[in-house]
Amino acid sequence: MVWLRQFSRLVLHIWPDRHRQRRKLRDMDDDQLRDIGISRSAAMREGRKPFWR
């Protein structure tokens, strides 16, 4: 049953959070990306990843 608990944590907490973070990363402007040290292409590449990866 440990696997069920881990899977439910993925589905209920990690996946939605990952989706939200990647959406925000795609929406950042160039100044914001520069502030966190990420290029536009890297942000778009990360933002296009599916939430389960």
Is 53 within the bounds of a domain?
A: no
The boundaries of the domain holding residue 23 are 2-47
For residue 32, what pLDDT is reported?
A: 97
The token pair at 9 is 């944590």
Is 31 within the bounds of a domain?
A: yes
For residue 7, what pLDDT is reported?
A: 83
**Spatial contact of 40 and 33, defined as CB atoms under 8 Å apart:** yes
Low pLDDT (below 50) residues in the chain: none
Is 52 within the bounds of a domain?
A: no
For residue 34, what pLDDT is reported?
A: 97
Task: Write down the pTM of the prediction.
Answer: 0.73
When divided into structural domains, the chain yields a total of 1
Is 12 within the bounds of a domain?
A: yes
Q: Distance between CA 10 and CA 16 in Å, rounded? A: 9
